[in-house]
């Protein structure tokens, strides 16, 4: 997994319910519910921590080892959310200004 960065889009609605994050895209009204591991990745998406580090920490919080397949699954999940505009994905750190700018 190369160094990539993720940030939460401003064009979403989100709320933590029973440990699962519920997210609605304001762009296309797609509604997601994230499981606890995905929720941890989502909450850590600060734009400056490398994705690989976020995924490792999120999965290690649930499991003792981090299988390679889990990292691949997490990357696929991040890319899927990015396609819906839920997460911003970049090869460089994402500032708050650029994250907000992506919503207009």
Partner 1 sequence: MSRLIEEITARGVRMGLPITVHMDVTYRCNERCDHCYLDHEDHGEMTTAEIKRVLDQLAAAGTFFLVFSGGEVFMRQDFFEILEYARRLQFDVNVKTNAVMIREAEARRLRALGVRRFQVSIYSHDAAVHDGITRLPGSLQRSLRAMRLLKDHGMYVTLANVLMRQNMHDYAGTQRLAREMGIDFALDPTITPMLDGSTAPLTMRIPVERLQEVYQDASLGPLGGDACGSDAEDVQGNASCSAGHASCYISPYGDLYPCVQFPMPCGNLRQQSFQEIWGGSPQLTELRSIRVRDLPSCSSCGNVGSCSRCPGLAYMEGNMRGPSTADCEKSYARTGHASVNLLARMNSAATTANPKLVQIQV
- Residues binding partner 1 (CB under 8 A): 10-15, 17-18, 22, 24, 26-27, 29, 31, 33, 103-104
52, 1 Cβ separation under 8 angstroms: yes
Choose between 61 and 100: whose C-beta lies nearer to partner 1.
Answer: 100
Beta carbon nearer to partner 1, 50 or 85: 85
Residue 31 CB, shortest distance to partner 1, in Å, is 4
Closest CA to 42 of 66, 67, 9, 70: 9
Smallest gap, in angstroms, from Cβ of residue 28 to partner 1? 9
The token pair at 41 is 């990745």
Neighbours of 83 (CB within 10 A): 11
């Amino acid at each position: 997994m190369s160094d990539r960065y993720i940030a939460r889009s401003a064009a979403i609605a989100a709320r933590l319910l029973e440990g699962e994050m519920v997210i609605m895209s304001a762009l296309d009204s797609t509604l997601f519910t994230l499981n606890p591991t995905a929720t941890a990745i989502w909450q850590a998406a600060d734009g400056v921590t490398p994705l690989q580090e976020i995924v490792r920490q999120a999965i290690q919080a649930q499991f003792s080892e981090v299988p390679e397949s889990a990292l691949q699954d997490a990357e696929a999940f991040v890319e899927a959310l990015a396609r819906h505009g839920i997460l911003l994905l970049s090869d460089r750190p994402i500032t708050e200004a650029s994250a907000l700018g992506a919503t207009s």
